Amino acid sequence: MPAIKKEVTDLKRVFSEELTLNHGQQQSLHHEIKKRVESIIEDYQESGFTKQKMYSQIHKNLRRAFSAPKYIFVKRKDYQEALVWVKTWRPLL
């Protein structure tokens, strides 16, 4: 019985800490990134920002903030935090 409890505990840890976003969450995060860039691009065009530069920066910042090689590899446990992060993101000038 103790071995089964340990296995269950290990599986719970994997599910809560190691699983990355599911497809629906990936799509939702991608959509929020697009909405954010589109909503603020005009404010930054005078500073020399293009959409391409802004997308590059938001992806780079998101990867760094959530220690993920790509946004799709954000941990499932961090999904809500990542959505809030994207909605408040501003490019570095």
How is the chain split into domains, by residue range? Answer: 2-88
pLDDT digits (tens, 9 = 90+) for 57-67: 999 999 999 99
Neighbouring CB atoms inside 10 A of 81's CB total 13
pLDDT confidence of residue 16: 65
Predicted pLDDT at 7: 80
Q: How confident is the model at residue 5 (pLDDT cuts 50, 70, 90)?
A: confident
d(CA 37, CA 21): 21
pLDDT score of 85 more than 70: yes
